Structure 1
Amino acid sequence: MKTQHLKAFVAIVKYGGVIKAAGQLHLTQPALSASLKALERDLGCTLFDRSRGNRRVRLTANGQRFYARALTILRECEVARSELRGEAPPKPRLRLGVLETLPRAWTRSLLAGVRAGDVAVEIWEGSAERLTGWLEQERIDAAVTVVGEKGVDARVLWREPFVAVVPPGHALAARARRTLTIRELAAEPFVFRSRCELSPVGEAQLRAAGTTLRTVVRAAREEVAFDAVERGYGLTFAPRSIVPARLVAVNVSGFSLSRTIGLHWRAGLDRALVERLYRAAARAKKATAHDQAAVTGSALVTMRKNRTTTPANAGTPRRNHQRKRR
C-alpha cells in the first residue's frame, strides 16, 4: 500500500470526483484513476459506487470505513516525518460543514471562534441534504445544520420561525408588529428561494390552507431573492435570522414553518472537540443576537420613514413606475 494511492483516494473523496482531484494533485486523470485501481486491488474491494446513473462520487460501505483509516494513516505519516525532522507536529484537522442558508454574520463569528487554537479547520458549505450525506460518508466530522429535536449525535443551538419578507414601503410592512393570515398573502406575487431546505413542508401547509402562491421569481441565490423583494417584485418566506436589515419581517398566522439549527457530528468524534465546537457556535449566536436586534430596530425606523415619504403605490415593481412615466 503506497501513500500516493491513499492521497489519491482521499483527494477524490474531498473534491468530489477524479477531474477536480487530479487538478489539485497536479496529476493526469488516467494517472489518478490508475492509483485508485491499484489501491482497490491491494485492498481486495471497491471503494466507490460506479453503478450507472450514479453521477455523484459515492463511497461504498467499505469505502466509508476505509476513508477514516486512510486519513489516520496519512496523518501518522505526517507526524512521523515531523518528529524525525525536528519540526512541530501538524495540527489535527477538523472538517466542519456549514449550512449554506445560515446568516453570514453568524458564520463569520463561528469561523473566527473555531480557527483559533490547536486545530486546523476545513470548511465545507452545502445544503442540509449534502451535509447529511457528507456526515454519513464521514467526509466531514461535524456540521452546523438543520437537526431534529431529539437527534442522535446532535445538539440544538437555536430555533427560529419563517416569516414573510417585504420591502419597507409595502402596505404589509405597516403591520410588522402584527400577524398576517395566509389568505392575506395569497394575492401577493411570490419570490421563491430555491435553496430553502423546508420548501416541501411550507408548500404542504399552504395547500392545506387552500392557498396557492403566484411565483414570479425563482432565485437560487439569497441575495437575488432579497433584491427582488426590495425592488417590489413580490414577497418571500425566509428564516427570521437571515432577513436583511433593509427589509421587513412579518409573522404569518396559520403558517407554522420553522427550523431547528444545531450541531451534528459523526459517530466517534472526540467529545471534548464536540463540546468545544458547540461552545463556539453558541458564542457566535450570542454575539450576533445583538446585531439582529439592531437590524430589527433599523428596519422599523426605515418603515416609519417610508410611510411618511413614499407614495401609496410604492409597493409595486419599479418597472411599473417607469411604464407610467412613458
Structure 2
Amino acid sequence: MNYKRLETFVWVATLGNFRKAAERLHTTQPAISARIAGLEEELGVKLFTREGGSSPIVLTSKGKELLPYIEKILYQTEQLRKRAAISTAYSGVLRLGVSETIVNTWLPDFLSRLHKEMPNLDVEMTVDVTANITIGIKDRSLDLGLLMGPISEPNIINRELCTFPLSWVASPKLDLPDRLLYLEELTKWPIITYAKATKPYVEISQKFRELEGPPAHFFASTSLAACRSLAIDAVGIATLPNIMISKELETGNLRKLRSVWTPNDLKFTASYSDEPFNPLAEVATNVACSAAQEYDKTQHSNGAT
C-alpha cells in the first residue's frame, strides 16, 4: 500500500482541506486529490465528503473507522525506519519556530547536529515570540517550536530543554547605588524588557503595577539583542538572561543590579503536535534535547550562572 497515499489521507483528515494538506506536504492540490482518489479506489470505499459550499472536507463513517488503523501503520513504519537507523530516509521540510534566547545560545549547534542526523532535511526557520510560535504549533503551520513552554494542549508533546536565569542589568552610566534596590527605585528609568505577548513581560508589568507611586514605563521589544543594546546605551534598565550578558559584564558595559525581586527563570521546551504522528518533529526534538544538555554542561564547566 502506497505510503504517500496513507500520509496524505491522514493530513487531509487532520486539516480538513486539500489545499492545506498540499501546502503541508509540499505538493499541488491536484496531486492530493489524485492520491486520495487512488487510495479510495484501492480500498474500495469513499473516505471523504464535502458538505457543500465552503464547508471543510469531512471524513465519511468508513473514513473515521479506518483513520486510527492508517495512523498506526504510519507510526509503525517510522519506528521501523528508526530501528534500522535509516537517517537518509528523513527528508522534506521541517518548519521550525524558535525563541530568540535559543537563537543567541545553542541554536547553531542544534542545526549542525540536525544536518548530521538528517542530511536530506530542509529547515524553514521562524524566529518569533512564544505566543506566535504556540499558535503555529496548534494550527500546524509549524512542525516544532523551541519556546518558553510548555503548551497545555492534550495533543501537544512537550520536552524540557533548558532553564535560563534572568537578572536586572544597567549601564554603569546610570550610576545606580551598589546595594539592594527596591523596585520603586528602578521606575526612574524605562524598564526594557520582552515583548508584550510573553510570560516575562506579563510577570514584570504586573509586579510593577502593584507598586505605589508613579507608574513604570516599559520599552518592550521582540529582539533581546535590541534590549541589550538599549541597556548598554543607558536608555533604561533591562531584565535579560544571564547567558546573554556575560561578555558585557566582563567588559564593564553592563553591571548586574541587586533587587528585592527578580523575574522567574525562563523555562524552554521543545513542543510539537503528535496528531498526526510527526516523525521529523520527534527526531528533531531528540536532537534539540541533546544540544541543550551539552550547552548546559559547557556553561557549568565554564562557571556561567
Q: Name the TM tier (shorter chain).
A: 0.5 to 0.7
Q: Distance in 2 between matches of 1:287 and 1:242?
A: 15
Pick the aligned partner of 1:161 from 162, 165, 173: 165
Residue 190 of structure 1: how far off its partner (Å): 3.0
Q: Distance in 2 between matches of 1:292 and 1:159?
A: 16
Is contact 1:161-1:259 (8 Å) kept?
yes
Q: Within 5 Å, which residues of 2 pair with 1:86-105? A: 91-93=90-92, 94-105=94-105
Pick the aligned partner of 1:282 from 293, 302, 305: 293
Q: Distance in 2 between matches of 1:109 and 1:192?
A: 27
Q: Distance in 2 between matches of 1:156 and 1:269?
A: 18
Distance 1:116 1:291, change over 3 A: farther
Q: Distance in 2 between matches of 1:291 and 1:103?
A: 20
Residue in structure 1 matched with residue 186 of structure 2 by the alignment: 185
Q: Distance in 2 between matches of 1:164 and 1:60?
A: 52
Structure-1-length-normalised TM-score: 0.56
Residue in structure 1 matched with residue 260 of structure 2 by the alignment: 253
Is contact 1:143-1:264 (8 Å) kept?
yes
Residue 166 of structure 1: how far off its partner (Å): 0.7
Residue in structure 2 matched with residue 323 of structure 1 by the alignment: none
Residue 197 of structure 1: how far off its partner (Å): 1.6
Q: Distance in 2 between matches of 1:169 and 1:251?
A: 16
Q: Distance in 2 between matches of 1:256 and 1:228?
A: 19
Residue 228 of structure 1: how far off its partner (Å): 2.0
Question: For this pair of structures, how many residues does the alignment match?
Answer: 244
Identity %: 14
Q: Within 5 Å, which residues of 2 pair with 1:111-190? A: 111-118=111-118, 120-125=121-126, 126-148=128-150, 153-172=157-176, 175=178, 179-190=180-191
Runs of at least 5 residues in structure 1 that lack an aligned partner in the other structure: 15-20, 26-31, 52-58, 77-87, 297-326
Pick the aligned partner of 1:213 from 207, 216, 232: 216
Corresponding letter in the other structure for 1:166: A
Structure-2-length-normalised TM-score: 0.59
Residue in structure 2 matched with residue 302 of structure 1 by the alignment: none
Q: Distance in 2 between matches of 1:196 and 1:260?
A: 16
Name the SS of the counterpart of 1:252 in structure 2: coil
Corresponding letter in the other structure for 1:285: D
Distance 1:100 1:13, change over 3 A: farther
Is contact 1:145-1:262 (8 Å) kept?
yes
Q: Distance in 2 between matches of 1:164 and 1:233?
A: 14
Name the SS of the counterpart of 2:165 in structure 1: strand
State whether structure 2 residue 225 is matched by structure 1 residue 231. Answer: no
Q: What root-mean-square deviation, in Å, do the aligned CA atoms of Structure 1 and Structure 2 show?
A: 4.7
Distance 1:11 1:291, change over 3 A: farther
Residue 251 of structure 1: how far off its partner (Å): 4.3
Distance 1:219 1:276, change over 3 A: closer
Is contact 1:193-1:220 (8 Å) kept?
yes
Corresponding letter in the other structure for 2:198: E
- Which range moves more in the overlay, 153-162 or 270-279? 270-279
Is contact 2:50-2:58 (8 Å) kept?
no
Residue 203 of structure 1: how far off its partner (Å): 1.0
Name the SS of the counterpart of 1:275 in structure 2: helix
Is contact 1:241-1:292 (8 Å) kept?
no
Corresponding letter in the other structure for 1:277: A
Name the SS of the counterpart of 2:259 in structure 1: strand
Name the SS of the counterpart of 2:125 in structure 1: strand
Runs of at least 5 residues in structure 2 that lack an aligned partner in the other structure: 13-17, 38-46, 78-86, 249-253
Q: Distance in 2 between matches of 1:200 and 1:60?
A: 39
Q: Deviations over 1:131-160 (max 9, x none)?
A: 212222233333221124998622322333
Name the SS of the counterpart of 1:278 in structure 2: helix
Distance 1:228 1:122, change over 3 A: same
Residue in structure 1 matched with residue 81 of structure 2 by the alignment: none
Distance 1:256 1:232, change over 3 A: closer
Corresponding letter in the other structure for 1:225: C
Distance 1:150 1:253, change over 3 A: farther
